[in-house]
Amino acid sequence: MQALSPTTTGVAFLARPGRPAVVARTLAELAGPTRGLVELPVRLMWNAERTFDLGDPDQLLWMYENVLRETTRSEDLRVLINGRVLRRVWRLLNLPRGVRQAWESRHRGLRAA
């Protein structure tokens, strides 16, 4: 899977100062889990409590927010985020403006989700 960054899209969308938002080329390639427990690597979540129960809506949102905001690797998106779930919860996610703009710029369907 290849991901888009500001340098390939020509638009600078930042997850935070100095960190470009990483965006998947297609939502279909996001094949992350839809249930069960998921433990994020330390590079995505520095807290000792890095395990999320995807059956708990609040934990699912918190995990997705962390992955979308913190990742610098397209592989993280592919293995941790599920495209169908992302579409379903998109409006509920609390994301930095740059992350939301980057994803909605590439995946216009998320704007209407």
* Distance in angstroms (rounded) separating the CA atoms of residues 71 and 48: 18
Q: 3: closest CA among 67, 61, 62?
A: 67
| pLDDT single digits (tens) 16-35 | 888 899 999 999 999 999 99
Q: How many residues does the chain have?
A: 113
Q: What percent of the chain has pLDDT over 90?
A: 78
The average pLDDT across 47-57 equals 95
